[in-house]
Amino acid sequence: MIFNEIYSVYYQVVAKIIEEIIRGDAEEKHLDRIVREYAFSESMQTVLPALKGEKWQLMRRDRTTPIQHPPTMPLTLIQKQWLKAITLDPRIQLFDVEIRGLEEVEPLFTSEDYVVYDKYGDGDPFEDEGYITRFRTILSALKERQALKIQMVNRRGQLVLMQAMPVRLEYSEKDDKFRLISTGCRYGGTVNLGRIVSCEKCEAGHFASPIPPSPVKRWLTLRIRDERNTLERCLLHFAHFKKQAERMDANHYLVHIQYDKDDETEMIIRILSFGPMVEVIQPEPVRKLMIERLQRQKSCGLF
Amino acid sequence: MSAYQELIKNFEKIRGYMREFYVYGFKSREEYNKKSARSYDDERRRMESWLGDHMSFVRTPEGKTVFISIDSRVSQHNPFYKALKAKSFTDGDITLHFLLLDILYAPAVSLSLPEILAQIDQSLSCFENPMVFDESTVRKKLKEYIEQGIIVGEKVGRKMMYHRAGDVELPGITDLLNFYSEVAPCGVIGSFLLDKAENPPDFFAFKHHYITSAIDSDVLAMLFTAMRKKNAVTVWNLSRAADQPSKIQMIPLRVFISVQNGRQHLLAYQPQFHTIKSFRIDYLSDVKLEGYAPRFDELRAELDKMQSKMWGVTSSKSHHGKEHIEHVEFTVRVGRNEEHIVRRLEREKRIGRVEKVGKDTYRFTAEVYDTSEMIPWIRTFICRITELRFSNRMLENQFKRDMEEMYHMYGIAEEKHDFQ
């Protein structure tokens, strides 16, 4: 259904090669570059030799082609069905687009067919007109590399004004929120879109570097005791980080995870959720924070 | 013995290896070799070719260990989508693909099979040893493309005429595709659409972004198709308890996606046991559509009702024909300037209610099918839990024993309690 050669990298690369030949740019070096750029690392050994050897009869030995039109392919049924499905999602309004030609198409899925059951309940108001306008302004500033004048409510509920150079929009599926990652802002580089009250584009002016400071990365090491299926649960839970696992013995494993220092509290909470099956081994400051929480728990008089 | 190829015919085998390398990544070559040494080497080499820098290895006393390590917050697009773009094909397939779409280059060009065959022969006549496509091969390919929706076959009189399908206008759709190809189910389809654009700019990044489900896209698309058609399916399921997959019949009702644990489940009715059960989608394979399921709407309505008592994916457990429900409550202490804890309770609870029960204490209460699914969340409030009451006493005692064990683990235990 989805795993089909018509979507394959090889078909895409051959389409680009034919297009270049039709345009009159059939230099071997150029065709090599297309394969290197768009295909897999070992595709060089297959694609051009198959074309040059006339195994795939789409290019002659003199690098001309019997194909007369630049290759194109209409959308497949499943592509149309998927597009139709996403037009039914409430977040679609953030994007100022109208897709025509899907009126008769059945969606691949609707909100009745799946549920994201553990996302947080205070996600961004994606259907709010003000939010949609601000989102579009930010996206437009990103494309045009323009700065933004932003008015937002801070954690203490106060209105603050700031100017920033937008770098990207970061979406968290768990929080169901967008954050604006920016540079040049005195309140820090990350702003929740939900806190922005108004924003407008302004001259880039003094924002010299569009690159925000890299987040501070830390490694932590966990020891997993594989009971109650903890190994699989834990490795899947932390799968979205850069990580490496090693086996200590039949029942114990070490996993090293790289995380952003800013997310340390969140990491501690996530580790606590595994109870005694997962122990922080390193670094010592994180282990101390775990101990602090447990000591505070002891003072709660639960038992 | 055939030579190594970068492309693959069957996705199932590599799906298993990818999961092993990405989720676990601590097994040595020798452990995989129990299956086939050559197979391991080929699959590893393919993944290196597709995933490049995301593949790493370490040497351990047990041998070389290969693993995939990806910080999905940094990668703007899911690297696993590449695996779904590596389907093998024959020399005839690719030649015919480009010739057919070139001959039928616009929806207005409508030709019969003999006319198409004549044009194919003419196009290939310039080669030294031109390929020969017989009528049945071309008819089969056209039929395949009609099913894919890219070619339309229409009877005109007694003749079947073929033309290219009309396209959809997609102006300025890149931002939308960059976003939905990462967050929507079967997002790889959005990635296929993005492949049509020339190096589209991308302004999105994703936090807490689980990417493993990409390799289950085909299974998921089939399950969605079954649900849209209200069909039953047969599917192979590899449960944790079994070594070998088993073939089961079910009526798929809803996909449950987690954005906190990286797993996707299917809630489906199993006629054999008259029950709605959850199945891990990454353990399912080879989904086949069966006939229309007349009870689909009734069963989905039943699942709708159940969801108010489901914390995760465990649905109603029947004890002697009666619905089994468990009571859960716990109280937390919220200090000064800790209002964020109350907000956490409110936004993170999926069912149940939160109430203020004292000057600085809040209680969460819920009725659930399975208390054990809720325990990891309750543990995230460790440092402020002042009361805990589960109707499932066994789990309450286990929770308390686990707490004791954590105190021991971190060297802060005093005396041992006996929880009976």
Could you tell me the CA-to-CA distances from B130 to A19, A64, B92, B270 in Å, in that order?
22, 15, 11, 54
Q: What is the pLDDT of residue B13?
A: 85
Do residues A194 and A224 share a domain?
A: no
Residues 234-253 of chain A whose Cβ lies under 8 A from any Cβ of chain B: 235-237, 239-247, 253
Q: What is the pLDDT of residue A265?
A: 96
Do residues B338 and B306 share a domain?
A: no
Q: What is the pLDDT of residue B295?
A: 97
Asked if the structure places residue A105 within a domain, the reply is no
Do residues A171 and A238 share a domain?
A: no
Chain A residue numbers with beta carbons less than 8 Å from the beta carbon of B183 are 171, 173
Asked if the structure places residue A121 within a domain, the reply is no
In this predicted model, what pLDDT tens digit does every residue of A184-217 receive, in sequence order?
877 668 899 999 999 999 986 666 566 777 789 9
ipTM > 0.90 for the complex? yes
CB contact under 8 A, B49 and A40: yes
Do residues B263 and B311 share a domain?
A: yes
Closest chain B residue by Cα to residue A92: B176
State the total domains in chain A: 3
Do residues A258 and A190 share a domain?
A: no
Do residues A4 and A52 share a domain?
A: yes
**N- to C-terminal Cα distance for chain B?**
63
Do residues B402 and B337 share a domain?
A: yes
Asked which of B131, B146, B164 is the last residue of a domain, the reply is B164
Do residues B336 and B304 share a domain?
A: no
What is the CATH number for B339?
3.30.70
Report the alpha-carbon distance of residue B213 to residue B208 in Å, rounded: 14
Q: What is the pLDDT of residue A54?
A: 95
In the predicted model, what is the mean pLDDT of chain A?
93
What is the CATH number for A161?
2.30.30
Mean pLDDT by 10 residues, chain B (420 residues): 84 89 84 72 89 85 84 87 96 98 97 97 95 97 98 95 92 93 97 88 92 95 98 92 88 97 95 94 96 97 96 79 89 94 97 96 97 97 97 97 96 70
Q: Which long-range contacts (CB under 8 A, 24 or more apart) does B344-353 make?
A: B346/A121, B346/A122, B347/A120, B347/A121, B347/A122, B348/A120, B348/A121, B348/B377, B349/A121, B350/A117, B350/A118, B350/A121, B350/B311, B351/B308, B351/B309, B351/B310, B351/B311, B352/B328
Do residues B28 and B120 share a domain?
A: no
Are the CB atoms for A20 and A31 separated by under 8 Å? yes
- Distance of alpha carbon B163 from the chain centroid: 35
Asked if the structure places residue A253 within a domain, the reply is yes
* pTM for this model (two decimals): 0.94
In this predicted model, what pLDDT tens digit does every residue of A92-127 receive, in sequence order?
999 999 888 899 999 999 999 999 999 999 999 999
Does B236 contact A at CB distance below 8 Å? no
Asked which of B318, B337, B360 is the last residue of a domain, the reply is B318
- d(CA A161, nearest CA chain B) in Å: 24
Chain A residue numbers with beta carbons less than 8 Å from the beta carbon of B379 are 272-275
Ramachandran category for residue A250: left, alpha or beta (phi over 0 → left; psi -120 to 50 → alpha): alpha
Q: What is the 3-state secondary structure (H, E, C) of A241-301?
A: CEEEEEEEECCEEEEEEEEEHHHHHHHHHHHHCCHHHEEEEECHHHHHHHHHHHHHHHCCC
In this predicted model, what pLDDT tens digit does every residue of B147-181 receive, in sequence order?
999 999 999 999 999 999 998 888 889 999 999 99
Do residues A181 and A143 share a domain?
A: yes
Are the CB atoms for B260 and A237 separated by under 8 Å? yes
In this predicted model, what pLDDT tens digit does every residue of B290-314 receive, in sequence order?
999 999 999 999 999 999 999 999 9
Asked if the structure places residue B370 within a domain, the reply is yes
Q: What is the mean pLDDT of residues A289-298?
A: 96
Asked if the structure places residue A232 within a domain, the reply is yes
Does B52 contact A at CB distance below 8 Å? yes
Domain with A280 in it: 217-298
Asked if the structure places residue A235 within a domain, the reply is yes
Asked if the structure places residue B209 within a domain, the reply is no
Asked if the structure places residue A294 within a domain, the reply is yes
Do residues A250 and A188 share a domain?
A: no
Do residues A64 and A18 share a domain?
A: yes
Do residues B145 and B221 share a domain?
A: no
Domain with B239 in it: 214-318
- Paired with A226 in beta bridges are none
Do residues B225 and B270 share a domain?
A: yes
Asked if the structure places residue B142 within a domain, the reply is yes
Among all chains, which residue has been given the structure tokens 């051959």?
A: A14
State the total domains in chain B: 4
What is the CATH number for A254?
3.30.70
Closest chain B residue by Cα to residue A247: B26
Asked if the structure places residue B84 within a domain, the reply is no
CB contact under 8 A, A109 and B204: no
